Amino acid sequence: LLRDLDEGKGPMPFRMSDPDAFEVGDNLANTPGDVVFQNDLMQLIQYRPTTETVHRRPLLVIPPWINKYYILDLGEKKSFIRYWLEQGHTVFVVSWVNPGPELAHKTFEDYMLEGPVAAMDAIEQATGEREINTVGYCIGGTLLGCTLAWLAARGDDRVKSATFLNSMMDFSEVGDLEVFIDEDSIAKIEKAMNKQGYLEGASMATAFNMLRANSLIWSFFVNNYLLGRDTAPFDLLYWNSDATRMPAAMHSFYLRNMYLNNRLREPGGITLAGTPIDLRKVKAPAYFASAIEDHIAPWISCYKGARNLGGPLRFVLGGSGHIAGIINPPEKKKYGYRLNEDNPANPEEWLKGAEQFEGSWWPDWVAWAEQFGGGEVKARIPGEGNLPVIEPAPGAYLRNEPAPPSPAVRKRRQPQRGKSGSAKQKTPSPEKVTQ
């Protein structure tokens, strides 16, 4: 107790996991790759291929900036990034910066322009391919939806498919978080943010922990302090404690326009970079994966938001919660998932008519994504295109360090021309997975 009070310098950051059991770049966030682009808000990681041939269209992954991206790379046995590579995708992942007061002015549209939009341009430089497929997780999925609507309003159709993981674009039912969403609460958050220029990551983590106080607060208080037990190593809780800050301007916009006023679902309700956006104009095929026990992004809101998009939709409902429902490798054969291809307006009707399947939904996504691969090309190595390698993954932003200087961008080369057909794939070897 005295140790944690001393380390917290006031607030008590009780330990959820043995802090000495994990290290990013060693046993977490250890999939081989390289940073090939960076700006004020993010580093872009290109991962090294594990197959000889790959889908022509690269895969851009936009994780949440509330936590760090390595929830998608929790070691070899749980890594979604490794799984994508094994299925023949050229994978690019955004690694968001942990912002300080110098980035207090950064807005939600800055996160769009310097995040996914900048990443798309960089991917074209790195691979010669303009067309891509995309994945967004949690608030990263909300940003992806906004980006697609912004691109659609400008006649930009480079995104050929979009996958949303526990992502809300309708905030009419926000579950347990509703206790924090009212004018008075948001005004208090804004007052605190304006003093330092950002919302401290620990504040957001505490808010989420309070929603599940018995399991995420009192269990550790009892075991650590009253019973004096050593904290067990747990990769997910180590990641959960590795929170990031949020710039004041961006977070205020997000809370007010999404949670408080629910403007994203309204055509033209939100304007980004001078362009009113309308989710209905997004025609790219969409795959939504939600979790039935998710208390952060309730599946009913995810389903309602999915139906706001204007293209073909496939919605699957996995078991468990916000993390385990998504990070669910097939080898463990856990949870199962539901699928109803009719997509009726009422979420309860969807659930009533859904068919239950065993195991992980990941293979279902693989079969769906196959049709948008765009043919087969030789596997791409980071640095061989027009973007030279800046540093090895996981990169400085993940380690909360200053970014190294960016090397000069090479002259743009002509796009690759791929053969028709699908990428050759490696079948993952069965492994025991710890959830």
Q: Could you count the other beta carbons within 10 Å of the beta carbon of residue 95?
A: 23
Which tokens in the block code for residue 31? 């999939």
Q: Would you say residue 237 has pLDDT above 70?
A: yes
Task: Give the pLDDT confidence of 106-119 residue by residue, as tens digits.
Answer: 999 999 999 999 99
180 band by pLDDT with thresholds 50, 70 and 90: confident
> According to the model, what pLDDT value does residue 70 have?
96
421 conformational bin, left if phi > 0, alpha if psi -120 to 50, beta if neither: left
Contact between residue 374 and residue 131 where contact means Cβ atoms under 8 Å apart: yes
Contact between residue 109 and residue 272 where contact means Cβ atoms under 8 Å apart: yes
Task: Give the pLDDT confidence of 335-353 residue by residue, as tens digits.
Answer: 999 999 999 999 999 999 9
425 band by pLDDT with thresholds 50, 70 and 90: very low
User: Distance between CA atoms of 140 and 66, rounded to whole angstroms?
Assistant: 9
Q: How many residues does the chain have?
A: 435
426 band by pLDDT with thresholds 50, 70 and 90: very low
Positions of E strands within 13-117: 33-38, 42-47, 53-55, 59-62, 91-96
Considering the candidates 138, 255, 286, 377, report the single residue annotated as catalytic: 138
| Better-scored residue on pLDDT, 176 or 225 | 225
Among 111, 15, 108, smallest CA distance to 62 is for 111
Highest-pLDDT range among 272-276, 329-333, 408-412, 416-420? 272-276
- The DSSP H or E segment spanning 254 is helix 248-254
User: Distance between CA atoms of 319 and 359, rounded to whole angstroms?
Assistant: 9
The domains found in the chain, sorted by start residue, are 31-176+275-392 (3.40.50.1820)
Threshold 0.75, pTM exceeds: yes
411 band by pLDDT with thresholds 50, 70 and 90: low
Task: Give the pLDDT confidence of 15-58 residue by residue, as tens digits.
Answer: 777 777 889 999 999 999 999 999 999 999 999 999 999 999 99
Residues 6+ away with beta carbon under 8 Å from 130: 124, 158, 415
138 catalytically annotated:
yes
Task: Give the pLDDT confidence of 280-301 residue by residue, as tens digits.
Answer: 999 999 999 999 999 889 999 9
DSSP state of 24: B
Q: Would you say residue 225 has pLDDT above 90?
A: no
